[in-house]
Structure 1
Amino acid sequence: MARSIDEHLAALRTTYRRLDPAQAAGAARQGALLVDIRYAALRDRDGTIPGAAIVERNELEWRLDPSGTHRLADVESYDLPVVVICNEGYASTLAAVSLHALGLTGATDLAGGFQAWRAAGLPVTPPDGIPTRPTPPIG
């Protein structure tokens, strides 16, 4: 059965609970690992989320496999809560489902990705490295 990528993503998203930016920030405060899978050009353009691990998408499964020799130091358990973040929340869905297939039952993704995080006014470290919060509008 052929289906579009949008149909495929919609079907995958019924298999787990995605987080909005406030929920993702709360999960991070409670110990979830935020994982930014955006490629370097986007991080260089838009900045990063303070405290998020940077893992290129093509290395994600190796870095988050608790039994792997190439895992991140923080990844010690299959039940580690993980929030995958891409630019707009599309590639992160595919990544979260891939992590589920590896047994990482606590994996999810950020709906709307980095752009939603930034639009929500959550902390961002710009490319110059100085963490900021967006200035609220006057009036």
Structure 2
Amino acid sequence: MATVDNLLKRNVPISNSESRCALCQMQLEDANHIFLSCIMSAGIWNELLRWLGKQSALHSNAIVHSSAFTNIGNKKDGQFLAGVWMCTVWCIWKGRNEVRFNHGKWAQDKMVAEIKSRLWSWKQAYNLRIPTEDFRAWFAAANLEESGAERN
């Protein structure tokens, strides 16, 4: 992954202004920071937890974070939550690249909406059973425990 910390390890010249996180401009850019602990991406994780009706203290290490996130629901929700985690990381990476390379703007509400929309479109590929077939109701709140939906 071409984060600044990896480029620096390979002796790629990076200016001081380019070495900071493209999203918050506060810390050296590394994968754990971009995806998990940056204030911009942490806001997305918190919004997704609210949407899912869950609470959790998520770690700043990707492996621990992924495990904690996929285990916030009951056992049958694990596959769905893993899909949410993967989709979120992918969307954050795309958003970071847009900011870094195309001078794009970071908008948390648009990012969360993109994650929800992509999850809906990925449901067939991941064989995810969404709690309702009504996209608008699901988009508003996933409500995993209340749905009683079974997931493979």
TM-score by length of structure 1 reads: 0.28
Structure number having the greater strand percentage: 1
Greater RCO between the two (CA within 8 Å, min separation 6)?
1
TM-score by length of structure 2 reads: 0.26
Structure number having the greater helix percentage: 2
